[in-house]
Amino acid sequence: MDKRLRHIGLLRCFAAAAKHQSYSDAAEELAISQAAVSQQIRSLEQQLMVKLFKRNGRAMLLTSQGKTLQDYVNKAFSLLSEGFDRVQVEPEAGVLNVTTGLSFASIWLVPRLWRFSALHPSVTVKVFVSAELENVKHSELDVAIRQGDKIDHTVYNELLFTDPVFPVCSPNLIKNNNLSSPQQIGCCQLIEASGPGRFSWQNWFDTAGVAMQSSQMSWLEVSTLEMGINAVMAGQGICLAPKCLVSDLITNGLLVKPFNINIEPGQNFTLLYDQDSPRLARIQIFSRWLKQELADAGITKALLD
Amino acid sequence: MDKRLRHIGLLRCFAAAAKHQSYSDAAEELAISQAAVSQQIRSLEQQLMVKLFKRNGRAMLLTSQGKTLQDYVNKAFSLLSEGFDRVQVEPEAGVLNVTTGLSFASIWLVPRLWRFSALHPSVTVKVFVSAELENVKHSELDVAIRQGDKIDHTVYNELLFTDPVFPVCSPNLIKNNNLSSPQQIGCCQLIEASGPGRFSWQNWFDTAGVAMQSSQMSWLEVSTLEMGINAVMAGQGICLAPKCLVSDLITNGLLVKPFNINIEPGQNFTLLYDQDSPRLARIQIFSRWLKQELADAGITKALLD
DNA sequence: TTTTTAATATAAGTTAAACTTATGGATAAA
DNA sequence: TTTATCCATAAGTTTAACTTATATTAAAAA
């Protein structure tokens, strides 16, 4: 076997850098650091004793030898991808790794997963919580459900729904404070949650046409929406929340939406996955189920109360 | 980029194992351990979630999927090798790594290398000594000069010469012991050197037609032939040595060959290198010089005194 | 039939490669 | 001129690739 193939791992960085003629863009595509790309290209050039890139200001242009090698590497990689496709298409049965934010996971998704398991017992869903948008192309994660406006152009993005965001409080708070108009809301403790897709109370006051006098209001900041909702259910104040995470509680009478005023625009929830994933069959099973669950819960793409 | 290409490094082991349908043969070809091959194949199978080999007694037969992937991998690797060939042929100038035994290196090769450097100043020769036959295909070593009969079928082997092996001693020893016939040799201390291509005194006695009475003889065992030769020059006994390593000393009168009796067959010295090496131009410069040096020293392929 | 040999599988540990963060230098853009 | 962007490099960290040791199993030899 050709001993130069010992350094075959370096060719991934080469292919990405050659495609972009930029190490940092290559690094982004591969989800590694620019320095790693730089070092790997240097190593490859040393192993082969061939200069593959030439610096042009900030750009790294391919040498003619670099272009030649790029052609061969791209063809070889295409063959390998095709070979993988021929031997593998994962069956529907197996593991599926799902990533989403902590609040959506704990309040909405996980409590419903028993229904998915009942319908698809051969698929094992593993839920990974993260505050960030995780890379579903270059990690072992298969599907992301993200709130907020960030999208990842390298994978398939599907808007699941745009959820209205409004204040919620306990029924007791309304009774004890005789809460009847938006102007009175400033007299209660306002709860602000950090985390993905954070909402702005300023935004809500603007929409409601009420002046927000911060210095005279009582604030409570919590690190997750779940904590905010728990505080509200304990009677402790008013919290802004997306409908999907509180609708069950409102239906059950544990929470109340005191005013029919929503933040505009609402909160986007997006589904992301890699269309080239060998687990595509499994991903699509999950995706169909998820959309059905949302429809059953009366949650559609642009739901305005 | 296809995320499955992250595990491209595993494909080397796969290709070798698929070729041999044997992990240990693959390990030998790749100059790594069987356990490494086993673990890499297992890792690849897990990553792809495809069974590539099936156990058949001691053999590892390819599954049909394994055969499919083998075809693609072999084609891809051929493309990569061709790509490397197109962009690289190392110039004559550069580093050349040469491996040989300690005695040949120190006594013969290194003292002559100044002549190589004078003729080819752009080639830097680095000499690595080793008691074993090193792999010049799967290491950074480019050329091996080996004594003994072991050859490496994976690379080019060229017999340089077959050197006669005979006893040598100091002129003083002959004078002090009135050494005049082979039968008297047993009265002197016999020096035996370990190391590559070790020679047998039994063999010499057989050739000389003299009975060897081990229990009545005085033995000294040293770990390198160089040490043996140094002891002999100090007057300490008689040592078997190949001609190339002692001919200069005999010519200079520092050593004597007391009897014109050589061990049969003599000692093979073989040149080994990888014909696919990108340093082939450099290797061939060295090879031509080496053969010329041997010829100038009157050493040819089958030299019988 | 028993014993020995040969081959792979696995665990634990080690080494080397692949990565990160931090920082500097150079160029391009404001 | 200053700021921003990009790659290069050093030092350190993490992970993958390797090793050695040992167990298991099947094949070959006695």
Crossing angle of helices A11-20 and A34-48, in 10° steps, is 110
Distance CA B15, CA B109 (A): 38
Beta-bridge partner residues of A154:
none
Instruction: Give A29's contacts in chain B (Cβ within 8 Å).
Output: 1
- Residue of higher predicted confidence among A2 and B186: A2
Query: Which 3 state secondary structure label does DSSP give B163?
Result: strand
pLDDT in tens, A171-185: 888 888 888 888 888
pLDDT in tens, A59-68: 889 998 899 9
Does residue B90 belong to the interface with chain A, where contact is any CB pair within 8 Å? yes
Distance CA B166, CA B305 (A): 11
Count CB atoms within 10 A of the CB of residue B162.
19
- Residue of higher predicted confidence among B145 and B55: B145
CB contact under 8 A, B1 and A16: yes
Does residue B126 belong to the interface with chain A, where contact is any CB pair within 8 Å? no
Cβ-contact A76, B79 below 8 angstroms: yes
* Topology of domain A94-162+267-296, CATH: D-Maltodextrin-Binding Protein; domain 2 (3.40.190)
Query: Which 3 state secondary structure label does DSSP give B127?
Result: strand
**pLDDT at B107 > cutoff 80:** yes
Helix (H) or strand (E) holding B264: strand B263-273
Eight-class DSSP state of B11 = H
Structure-token match 């290398």, residue found: B113
pLDDT at B72: 96
pLDDT in tens, A94-125: 889 899 988 888 889 999 999 999 999 999 99
Cβ-contact A17, A23 below 8 angstroms: yes
**pLDDT at B181 > cutoff 80:** yes
**pLDDT at B302 > cutoff 60:** no
Residue B34 beta carbon within 7 A of nucleic strand C = yes
pLDDT in tens, B250-295: 888 889 998 888 887 788 888 999 876 778 889 999 999 999 999 8
CB contact under 8 A, A1 and B30: yes
Distance CA B49, CA B66 (A): 12
Distance CA B118, CA B120 (A): 6
Q: To the nearest whole percent, how much of chain A has pLDDT over 90?
A: 35
Q: Which residue is nearest to nucleotide C7 (CA to C1')?
A: B58
User: CA nearest A51 in B: which residue?
Assistant: B87
Residue whose C-alpha is closest to residue A276's, from A160, A155, A158: A155
Instruction: Give B73's contacts in chain A (Cβ within 8 Å).
Output: 80, 83
Distance CA B296, CA B247 (A): 13
Distance CA A287, CA A276 (A): 15
Instruction: Give A48's contacts in chain B (Cβ within 8 Å).
Output: 84, 87-88, 278
pLDDT in tens, A218-250: 888 887 788 888 889 888 889 998 888 888 888
pLDDT at A16: 95
Q: Which residues make Cβ contacts (< 8 Å) with residue A149, sequence separation at least 6?
A: A197, A268
Residue B253 in tokens: 């009168």
CB contact under 8 A, A82 and B65: no
pLDDT at B197: 58
pLDDT at A41: 95
Give residue A95's region: left, alpha or beta (phi > 0; psi -120 to 50).
beta
Query: Which 3 state secondary structure label does DSSP give A89?
Result: coil
Residue B68 in tokens: 């499919």
User: CA nearest A94 in B: which residue?
Assistant: B49
ipTM: 0.57
User: CA nearest A155 in B: which residue?
Assistant: B1
pLDDT at B228: 87
pLDDT in tens, B187-245: 888 888 876 556 778 888 888 888 887 777 888 888 778 888 888 988 888 999 888 88
pLDDT in tens, B11-63: 999 999 999 999 999 999 999 999 999 999 999 999 898 889 988 877 889 99
Q: Which nucleotide is nearest to A53 (CA to C1')?
A: D7
CB contact under 8 A, B75 and A73: no
Instruction: Give A2's contacts in chain B (Cβ within 8 Å).
Output: 77, 80-81, 84, 276
Beta-bridge partner residues of B145:
B100, B271
* Topology of domain A3-87, CATH: Arc Repressor Mutant, subunit A (1.10.10)
CB contact under 8 A, B8 and A82: no
The domain locations on chain B are 3-87, 94-163+267-296, 164-265
Helix (H) or strand (E) holding A265: strand A263-273
How many Cβ contacts (< 8 angstroms) between chains A and B? Answer: 134
Residue A138 beta carbon within 7 A of nucleic strand C = no
CB contact under 8 A, A69 and B79: no
Residue B166 beta carbon within 7 A of nucleic strand C = no
Which amino acid belongs to residue A283? I
Reported confidence tier of residue A80, pLDDT bands at 50, 70, 90: very high
Read off the pLDDT of each residue in A260-270 and give the average, rounded to a whole number: 85
CB contact under 8 A, B68 and A84: no
* Topology of domain B164-265, CATH: D-Maltodextrin-Binding Protein; domain 2 (3.40.190)
Q: To the nearest whole percent, how much of chain B has pLDDT over 90?
A: 35
Cβ-contact A108, A229 below 8 angstroms: no
HSE, CB side, 13 Å, CA atoms: give it for residue B258: 25
Distance CA B150, CA B272 (A): 11
Distance CA A65, CA B294 (A): 40
Concatenating the DSSP letter of every residue in A156-218 gives EEEEEEEEEEEEEB-HHHHHHHT--SGGGGGGSEEEEE-STT---HHHHHHHHT----GGGSE
pLDDT at A305: 39
Q: Of B3, B87, B278, which has the smallest distance from its Cβ to A138's Cβ?
A: B3
Distance CA A67, CA B13 (A): 28
H helix intervals, chain B: 11-20, 23-30, 34-48, 64-87, 102-103, 110-119, 171-177, 201-208, 225-233, 243-251, 280-296
CA of A32 to C1' of D13 (A): 15
Is there a common fold for A3-87 and A94-162+267-296? no
Read off the pLDDT of each residue in B157-185 and give the average, rounded to a whole number: 87
pLDDT at B195: 63
Reported confidence tier of residue B83, pLDDT bands at 50, 70, 90: very high
Q: How far is CA B200 from CA B168, B190, B250, in A?
A: 14, 11, 21
CATH 3.40.190.10 fits domain B94-163+267-296: yes
Residue B113 in tokens: 């290398």
Q: What is the mean pLDDT of chain A?
A: 86
Sheet of B218-222, strands arranged across: B123-129, B94-100, B143-147, B263-273, B156-168, B238-242, B189-193, B218-222
Beta-bridge partner residues of A191:
A220, A239
What Rg do the C-alpha atoms of chain B give, in angstroms? 25
pLDDT at A302: 54
Count CB atoms within 10 A of the CB of residue B288.
10
pLDDT at B304: 41
Read off the pLDDT of each residue in A13-20 and give the average, rounded to a whole number: 95
